[in-house]
Amino acid sequence: MGKRREPKQFLKSIKRSGFGPNTFDEWRYLDHGEPGMDNSQRQLNPDFVLNQARYKGASILLTRDNFGCGSSREHAPWALEDFGFRALVGTTFADIFYNNSFKNGLLPIKLAPEEVQALFDMTAVLPGMALKIDLAAQTVTRPDGVSYRFDIDAFRKECLLNGWDDIGITLRHADLIKEFEARRRIEQPWLFA
C-alpha cells in the first residue's frame, strides 16, 4: 500500500465520534466517500487487509515505519479508536500523531523492527492471532508466550491506566479550582460586575 493522507472531506467535524466507518476510507472502499454517506451501501475493497474476516473486531493495529505521517489532526486517533483499535504496535510514529494518540486514549507502542516483523510474520500464518498488551507491565505478549517490553512515559502511562484526558486531569483538581474562583470573587469583585 502506498502512502495516503487523511481524506480531507471527513475533517470538517470536531466531534470525537462517527469517524470509525471512514477509517482508511480510500483503501477500504472502492468509491470516493463523503460525510453522511451510508457506508453500508458502499462496495468494500476485497484486497484491503482490514476488510478480511480474520481481522474483524481487531483492537490492536500492527503498523509500519512512521505511521500517522500526514495525520496530524486529532481526527486520526479519533477514527482509529472509533473503528475499535485500542493500541497500535509499530517501530516509529509521526510525532504529532503519536502525541495526539496518547491525548485521546489510544496507546502507540514502539518496538524494535525485528519484533514488529516477527508479529507481522506470525499474524500471516496464524488466523485469529491475539496479542496481549499489559500496560502496567509494559509488555506485548505473543500467543506462544514470547513477550516484548516497551517504554512509555510514566505520566502518559498513569493517564491511560486511569482513563484521564486533559479535561479529566484538570477535573481532578475541581475543589481547588472552586476555592480559587470563590476567593477571586471576594478579592477582585470588579471582574464579575
Measured distance CA(184)–CA(171) in Å, rounded: 19
Residue 33: is its pLDDT beyond 90?
Answer: no
Q: How confident is the model at residue 122 (pLDDT cuts 50, 70, 90)?
A: very high
Residue 4 has pLDDT above 60, yes or no: no
Q: What is the pLDDT of residue 1?
A: 46
* Residue 100 confidence (pLDDT): 94
| pLDDT on residue 17 | 60
- Residue 78 in this model has a pLDDT that exceeds 70: yes
Q: Of all helices (H) and strands (E), which one includes residue 108?
A: strand 107-110
Locus of grid cell 516509529: 92
* Average pLDDT over every residue of 70-90: 89
How confident is the model at residue 105, as a pLDDT? 93
Q: pLDDT value at position 74?
A: 83
At 108, list the grid cell.
Answer: 502507540
Per-residue confidence (pLDDT) for residue 19, from 0 to 100: 72
Confidence tier at 12 by pLDDT (50, 70, 90): low
CATH numbers and ranges of domains, the chain: 8-162 (3.20.19.10), 165-193 (no CATH)
Distance of alpha carbon 152 from alpha carbon 140, whole angstroms: 13
pLDDT score of 10: 53
Contact 97, 124 (CB under 8 A): no
Per the CB < 8 A criterion, the answer to whether 77 and 106 are in contact is yes
Encode pLDDT of 132-168 as tens digits.
999 999 999 999 999 999 999 999 999 999 999 888 8
- Mapping DSSP to helix (H, G, I), strand (E, B) and coil, where does residue 171 land? helix
Q: Are strands 60-62 and 147-149 parallel, antiparallel or unpaired?
A: unpaired
Strands 132-134 and 139-141: antiparallel
What's the mean per-residue pLDDT of the chain?
89
pLDDT value at residue 71: 75
Angstrom CA distances, 58 to 2, 21, 46, 51, 149, stand at 22, 14, 17, 11, 21
Chain centroid to CA 132: 17
State the amino acid at position 6 in one-letter form: E
Instruction: Name the percent of the chain lying above pLDDT 90.
Output: 66
Residue 20's contacts (CB-CB under 8 Å, 6 or more residues apart) are: 79, 81, 82, 83, 84
